[in-house]
Amino acid sequence: MYRSLRRALCAVAAALLLPLGAGAHTAHAAAVPGAGYWHTSGRQILDAAGQPVRIAGINWFGFETGNHVVHGLWSRDYKSMIDQMKSLGYNTIRLPYSDDIFKSSTVPSSIDFSSGKNADLQGLNSLQVMDKLVAYAGQDGLKVILDRHRPDSGGQSALWYTAAVPESTWIADLKALAARYKGQDTVIGIDLHNEPHDPACWGCGDTATDWRLAAERAGDAVLSANPDLLVFVEGVQTYGGVSGWWGGNLMGVAQYPVRLDVANRVVYSAHDYATSVAQQPWFSDPSFPANMPGVWDKYWGYIFKQNIAPVWVGEFGTTLSSTVDQKWLAALVSYLRPTSTYGADSFHWTFWSWNPNSGDTGGILKDDWVSVDTVKDGYLASVKAPLFPGTGTGGGGGGGGSTAACSASYTVSSDWGSGFNAEVKVTNTGTSAIGSWKVTWTWGGSQQVTNMWNASYTQTGSSVTAVNATHNGSVPVGGSVSFGFGGAPGSGGAPSVSCTAA
């Protein structure tokens, strides 16, 4: 969804609670979940070793626009952006694209190469840039979902094809991507088409408009090129006379599930938005926001609750400028199920968006493409999840055993006298992955932590102890995570910090 452009171009069963129980606790003794290709089992996604995983990520758009490359590279190096996503606890990137990137004439634009930025992207076409992003994300322990967002960079289409981009081109390009990344399990799957909407139908039987049948044709084509991928299938707008968000109506799955030649590959995807995108009748319901779980149950939540298949909310976002939107986001995050309570037995998600230039939602980054909207990011803290094993060539000690160790660095990012913001970076300096960390320091003055994100803290006098959040305790060898906080008063400088790992 490139929202501002799209708007310009176009005007329940009881919950089956699968217990985490003892099986969840044994996961600590096993490898970090996420290795290899993934598959589904009921409502969960499992890694190659059968361990449940949770997609908790972010949309980074641009390949689907006239730039033909992710946005923000006019301002920053792509590696620093992916590192920052990792530091904030996002474990997956959804990359929207259009079929234009397969044309030999397509050249990515608006990339800054000054001062060494993006140096290894010079002279590359869009697909080659995508290769670089995928490789670096995998090194950082993030997974990637490729999203066929549009037939061309001109705008969103209701159906999966247009006169200029027929279904045959759509399927050929999907197969080409599946084959391109075969053997690179950083790419876990492909979102077949973004936001099908009227006249797209589900289960109507008309091959020209039945999205469910088209998804089966495309999904089988993808799996013929790489049978290990997940196939992400969005909903439609209207089913049985009931309308909702574009791509957000999965009511038809109950009667007409997607059937693929390879079992355990389908993940259903819903999109859900707030009033900053468009008004919907449920926002003005007198019981709002208490009515929202019932709304989500009806459109897509039942698929998870009835153990039919995993559900991924591939897009949701808001400017947070209204009280209604704030209540909506808090309710949705709660509905998605906190990781600390449910682990990976939860809904999957990728927030819209990383980019600040999404016209009616904004992003996690502010307009400078560097600063984080800590309020928006903070809403997501409870549903973030651990990173996955990276593909980098990090440490590994020889022969005798391994050591858990970490270091920490403290940086004051802003200081206005009466208060300040700081960031602490935790780096795994040992020879084995760590599952948790703790950072301590003592101020020389009267500073007090006023709020903290991506960690929890206690303060006694001038001594502070910060402990990892659920989503960022796991750090691979050589890897880093960060947390930040606000404090008062300012003018305190940076104290010495120590880190312990387990």
Annotated active-site positions, please? 195, 315
Distance, CA of 97 to chain centre? 16
Helix axes 211-225, 167-180, angle to 10 degrees: 30
Please give the single-letter amino acid code of residue 469.
A
Encode burial over 359-376: b for 16+ CB neighbours within 10 A, e otherwise. Answer: ebbbbbbeeebeebbbeb
Pairing of strands 406-415, 448-453: unpaired
Torsion from C-alpha of 314, 99, 65, 4, nearest 10 degrees: -50
- Token representation of residue 308: 């039919």
Q: What backbone torsions phi and psi does residue 233 show, to the nearest 5 degrees?
A: -120, 115
CA distance 22 to 210: 44
Distances in whole angstroms, Cα of residue 482 to Cα of each of 320, 321, 433, 479: 24, 27, 16, 11
Distances in whole angstroms, Cα of residue 144 to Cα of each of 88, 94, 287: 16, 6, 38
CA distance 216 to 212: 6
Question: In 10 A of CB 438, how many CB atoms?
Answer: 18
- Paired with 144 in beta bridges are 93, 187
Sheet arrangement for strand 455-460 = 455-460, 463-468, 437-442, 497-501
- Token representation of residue 400: 């005798």
Whose structure tokens read 């090129």?
Answer: 225
Q: What is the full DSSP assignment across 43-79? A: TEEE-TTS-EE--EEEE---BTSTT-S-TTTTTS-HH
R_g of the chain computed on alpha carbons: 22
CA distance 95 to 191: 10
CA distance 63 to 26: 41
Q: Among 404, 330, 301, 317, which Cα is nearest to 364's?
A: 317
Question: In 10 A of CB 404, how many CB atoms?
Answer: 19
Pairing of strands 420-428, 480-488: antiparallel
